[in-house]
Amino acid sequence: MPHLTRRSFLAGAAAIPFSVWLERYAGAQPAQPRVRFDATSTQGQAMLRIYAQAVNKMQTATQERDPRSWVFQWYTHAVKSSTTKTAELARIYPTSSPQRSLAVEMWNTCQSHGGQDENFFLPWHRMYVFFFESIIRSVSGNATFTLPYWNYSTPVTALHGVMPAQFRQATDPTFKSLFVSKRNSGVNTGQAIDRGQPPQVLGLSSLAECSYSPQGVRQGFCMNLDRNLHGNVHGLIGNGLNMGAVPWAAGDPIFWMHHSNIDRLWASWNAGGRKNLATASFLAKTFVFADANGQRVVAKISDFLDVARLGYRYDRLEPVPACPPTPGLGAAPPPPPASRARVRAPVPLAATAVRVTLELPPALGAAPQVPLADRVRALPPARRLFLVIKGLRAQVQPEVLYHVYLELPPGTAPEGELRHYVGTVNFFDAVGLTGHEDHGPAAAPGTVPDKFFSFDVTALAKELLAKGQLTARPALTIVPAGQPVAEAKPVMGDISLVEQ
């Protein structure tokens, strides 16, 4: 890879605001936006060949000090959990240097898997992928390179959920740099990552969200995409020493194809007419990255909300469902969310199915308790019923997903019982980052809502009611999709049914 000298680094070591950087950089941009291609397309496969050759150069151990090296870029997301940021800084940079100062500032800054504002998840990763892509262009010497995306949700059966072949060739002279052995069983042999899972695991339900941020117990687009599809893919690909855990995820070359696709879905959502968050604090938030020359660049969220301005586009976007009409001026505000039932205590999960009961909340004052069946029966058309799961935690990665079913008959095997299926929960970022306390500044307590899973169970509840299967104390069954790691001890801290 091109050598970054101390003199050239010092020349660009001062902070460069992104607006200034982009103006300089735009002069070298082609007249038309660069196109990011599907990894399975002819163009995408050509890009993967360039990518593999560049990754091989970046992985050279002697280049670790370079901000454009593989380790430096990996650690920008998070330092691997077998060590600490402090220890790696001492190993790679035994003496002070501008590169070390940049590493101190950049490493462990992934948003938002360390208590930061969830709204930063999409823009931070767009920045991360954007600058990484420019580094690949620099390292490869190919100014036309664009980062392909892996469309694991494609309806094309032969391609759905199947990792591109270029990442599965352990001995190929060109593509072996993209191979990682620590992926889940079957992934490297071409099995679909969602084999044996409910079809919704790789679904695009996030595109139906009408707001960027949570609205009551509706997750909003950013959190829905992060918590569901994004986290599911991480867990389906790799174990606790690979894509399945935050500190190891960016060490796998497939990480970048995954996040190129996540960015494509955000671009799709915006192209469908959906609006991003527009608060002053969100727009003004900045993060530091290294560009193609290893220079320190200060990137602001407001500069990263339009891919056209950034000089790229995708060869294909996903269709976005229409939102329901909003109430007219003067319409009464909707009632606030109301808890209709909840599990009374945190739920420890096990190696086999766990069955828990949802209890009615205590009656308020002299008002009698209304049975859940009556609540569902009287649910107004504009109100929905959500199963909300909060407070996930684990000692280590369970390395499996957990499927949730409502009123699954006792003794019934969940496989094939999609009539009772609610949704899937992953523990991708539920493990505390021990030794990674500097994983970017956490938000002040109480200023950022807890991350949560939220599943619309309105249609399911009404169907169960019609069949006489919705009981006064509904049962949830939580099933691990495989054998969880014994030391994980995963817990769901709070489970409730909420009307909104």
Confidence check: pLDDT of 396 > 50: yes
Q: Using CA atoms in the order 343, 344, 346, 350, what is the torsion angle rounded to 10 degrees?
A: -60
Q: Per DSSP, what are the bridge partners of residue 359?
A: 342
**pLDDT-derived band at 30, boundaries 50, 70, 90:** low
**pLDDT-derived band at 10, boundaries 50, 70, 90:** very low
pLDDT tens digits along 273-283: 999 999 999 99
Strands 312-314 and 34-36 come out as: parallel
Cα angle 84-92-123, degrees, rounded to a multiple of 5: 65
Confidence check: pLDDT of 443 > 70: no
Q: What is the pLDDT of residue 291?
A: 94
DSSP letter for each residue of 264-333: HHHHHHHHTT------HHHHH-EEEEE-TTS-EEEEEGGGGS-TTTTTEEES-----PPPPPPPPTTPPP
Q: Which residue has the higher pLDDT, 333 or 23?
A: 333
**pLDDT-derived band at 415, boundaries 50, 70, 90:** confident
Joined tokens for residue 276: 């991003």
Q: CA torsion sign, 85 to 90 to 96 to 98? A: negative
Neighbours of 446 (CB within 10 A): 6
Strands 452-456 and 475-480 come out as: unpaired
pLDDT tens digits along 127-160: 999 999 999 999 999 999 999 999 999 999 999 9
In terms of Cα–Cα distance, which of 119, 357, 81 is closest to 225?
119
**pLDDT-derived band at 442, boundaries 50, 70, 90:** low
> What does the pLDDT average to over 19-26?
69
Q: What residues does each domain of the chain span?
A: 6-314, 338-499
Joined tokens for residue 431: 């493990």
Give yes or no for a contact between 387 and 423, defined as CB atoms under 8 angstroms apart: yes
> What does the pLDDT average to over 277-292?
96
Give yes or no for a contact between 117 and 280, defined as CB atoms under 8 angstroms apart: no
Burial category of 363 from C-beta neighbours within 10 Å (exposed 0-12, middle 13-18, buried 19 and up): exposed
> What does the pLDDT average to over 413-441?
76
Confidence check: pLDDT of 6 > 90: no
Mean residue pLDDT of the chain comes to: 91
Q: What is the pLDDT of residue 209?
A: 97
pLDDT > 90: what percent of the chain? 79
Confidence check: pLDDT of 208 > 80: yes
194: Cα separation from own chain's centroid: 16
Confidence check: pLDDT of 313 > 80: yes
342: Cα separation from own chain's centroid: 27
* Superfamily of the domain at 6-314: Di-copper center containing domain from catechol oxidase (1.10.1280.10)
Where is average pLDDT lowest: 116-130, 224-238, 323-337, 481-495?
Answer: 323-337
Give yes or no for a contact between 488 and 426, defined as CB atoms under 8 angstroms apart: no
Neighbours of 63 (CB within 10 A): 18
Burial category of 386 from C-beta neighbours within 10 Å (exposed 0-12, middle 13-18, buried 19 and up): buried
Q: Which residue has the higher pLDDT, 331 or 418?
A: 418
pLDDT tens digits along 50-72: 999 999 999 987 789 999 999 99
DSSP letter for each residue of 383-419: --EEEEEEEEEBSS---S-EEEEESPPTT--STT-GG
**pLDDT-derived band at 435, boundaries 50, 70, 90:** very low
- Residues ≥6 apart with Cβ < 8 Å to 440: 108, 109, 110, 111, 114, 116
Q: What is the pTM of this model?
A: 0.93
> What does the pLDDT average to over 100-118?
93
Confidence check: pLDDT of 386 > 90: yes
Q: What is the pLDDT of residue 436?
A: 44
Joined tokens for residue 174: 């060109």
Q: What is the pLDDT of residue 12?
A: 46
Strand runs labelled E in 5-146: 16-17, 34-36
DSSP state of 469: -
Confidence check: pLDDT of 327 > 90: no
Where is average pLDDT lowest: 119-123, 177-181, 262-266, 368-372?
Answer: 368-372
Q: What is the pLDDT of residue 29?
A: 58
Q: What is the pLDDT of residue 169?
A: 98
Q: What is the pLDDT of residue 334?
A: 84
| Coil/strand/helix, residue 24 | helix
Confidence check: pLDDT of 248 > 50: yes
- The CATH number assigned to the domain with range 338-499 reads 2.60.120
